[in-house]
Structure 1
Amino acid sequence: MTDKSFGYALKENGRVLAALVIRSSVTRFGESRIGYLWTLAEPAIYVGLFLSMHGFVRAALPFGDSAMLFFLTGVIGFRMTNLIARKAANGLSHNQTMLSYPLVKPLDTIVAAFILEVIIWTIVCALFIFFMYVGLDRKIIVYPLEFGAAILAIAFFAFSFAVFNAVIGTLVPIWDKTLSYTNMPLMLASGVVFVPATLPPSVLAIISWNPFLHCVEWFRSATYLDYNSVLDRTYLLSVAAVLLVVGLALERMYRNKLLENE
């Protein structure tokens, strides 16, 4: 009886998540194709801006022999992490009406939005890697296993950050607005346009606290044979684990209040 009950509950939860993923997709893009195109265009625009700035100031290439590859790995590494976390966190507020159904829990809305964003960014990442492969006519991912580990680590951190932010953002409304102001500083401090290992030790000691930097470093490390990385895998995974535990604990403690707010 217990096995059947567990299996039934698991199946019902799967149906709930599937319905929420579809709803999140419709909410995210609607019937317009512009949203899908913008998802692809946004990273390309960032890379284009960095390439233009690099060419304008005629600065030395930070690393490797391709400015496009260097900036693309930085932009994709950061934007993928940041946007998966942000969009997944928004799943709670964007599915307010669904929380009136007994089967739908606050965490389900976050998980559903997370699944959708992971699917989207997997496609985006694959397309850009393919375009770079065609454009540069060379292998882009030199360490496939390391690349796979980087994607999993990014997904883990993004989900943990999303759970934490979704709960805190609902309980403290000013949190989301404050967090939105940090997007550009975080990107600039995440090694998108420079090699962190080349910085003075005093500066590196400060920006190394930024977990997004380690996401970018892990992602970029899989695309170069001899990249000098400052990646700290233990630190990144530890931060993700702490955020997830705290976020889940707060969600359970304040679930009734979250539902009331909704």
Structure 2
Amino acid sequence: MTSRLMRRLDFRTPRVIAALVLREMSTTYGRSAGGYFWAIAEPVAGTVLLTAVFSFLAKSPPLGNNFALFYASGLVPFLMYSTVASKVAMAVKFSKPLLVYPRVTYLDAIIARFLLAALTQILVMYLLFTYLLMSSDTATVIDFDAIGLAILMAMALGVSIGTLNCLLFSVFPVWANLWSVLNRPLFLLSGVIFTYELLPESMAKVLWFNPLLHLTGKMREGFYPTYSPNYISLPYYAAWCFVPLVIGLFFLRRYHKKILNEL
């Protein structure tokens, strides 16, 4: 017990995590042409596509007067969550060759993948919204507190779901395929292309249980000062961020050696 505690308190753990982050950067962004360009291209391309399609179908977006800002404010937090969740979910499999060393643990692998994914998405978000706000007259007042909270919400849900899936993908490989199928409709059900208030009452009652709808609503609150998403429940969202994380960490701590032997 004492040796494990000292292991966590010395300076070797941050160095291990930093080394894993550098390894992740070189393998994820260093092997393909363009590197970080592709991380930026995904939200940009998604925003351009949504703007092009819906600007032909409607005279104005549901909020404000700028289609690109409206769709980016829904797409960016959704991609932030999904990217963090997918990266963390593969942490053990990705770092398996290094986990045989006693100084490298499954927790180091999870933290390293989380940090790189989160920081990358924050950078992408900064670049995209800076361009949108400077290149057009959006007539908006930025609420940095709401935006900051939305970023924390996206990262917290991403690492929570990702940690649970890190366990499930390793124990039940078929779950990775099922999860991919279940995730496909989320883009259409998470408030990326609509606001909660525009939904029919019967549909709104069902979709309220989707935590991503709370996330996109909080992000849009930061860009539209007149928008008040009263449906958001932070305690409900916090439960989604806490329960899967605790379950995933508990069983990974208990069975990580067995999982590594079976991978």
Please report how far the alpha carbon of residue 140 of structure 1 lies from its aligned counterpart in structure 2 after TM superposition: 5.5
Matched residue, 1:226: 226
Give 2:64's aligned residue: 64
| Contact 2:140-2:225 at 8 Å conserved across structures | no
Q: 1:180 to 1:141 in 2, by over 3 A?
A: farther
TM-score (norm: length of structure 1): 0.92
Normalising by structure 2, we get a TM-score of 0.92
1:167 is matched by which residue type in structure 2?
A: L
Unaligned regions of 5+ residues in structure 1, if any?
none
| AA of the residue aligned to 2:150 | A
1:77 Cα deviation after fit: 1.3
Deviations 1:137-164 (A, max 9, x none): 4575621122212211221111111111
Matched with 1:152 is 152
Report the equivalent of 1:249: 250
Residue 50 of structure 1 is matched in structure 2 by 50
Q: Shift in Å at residue 221 of structure 1? A: 1.2
Identify if the C-alpha distance between structure 1 residues 175 and 225 changes in structure 2 by more than 3 Å, giving closer, same or farther: same
In 2, the alpha carbon distance for the partners of 1:8 and 1:231 equals: 37
**Alpha-carbon distance change, 140 to 30 in structure 1, aligned in 2, over 3 angstroms:** farther
Q: Aligned with 2:150: secondary structure? A: helix
Cα offset, 1:224, TM superposition: 0.8
- In structure 2, the residue matched to 1:118 is 118
Number of equivalenced pairs: 260
- 2:25 maps to a residue whose letter is S
Output aligned runs, 1:99-110, within 5 Å.
99-110=99-110
Tell me the C-alpha RMSD between the 2 structures: 2.0
Name stretches of at least 5 consecutive residues in structure 2 with no aligned partner: none
Aligned mates of 1:140, 1:129 — CA distance in 2: 12
Instruction: Tell me if structure 1 keeps the 8 A contact 2:81–2:155.
Output: yes
Shift of the alpha carbon at 1:60?
Answer: 4.8
Runs of 4+ in 1 over 4 A off after TM superposition: 137-141
Shift of 1:228: 3.8
The corresponding residue for 1:36 is 36
Task: State the partner residue of 2:204.
Answer: 204
- Point out the more displaced range, 169-178 or 50-59: 50-59
Write the deviation string for residues 117-152 of structure 1: whole angstroms up to 9, x where unpaired: 111011101111210121124575621122212211
| Aligned-partner Cα distance in 1 for 2:256–2:18 | 22
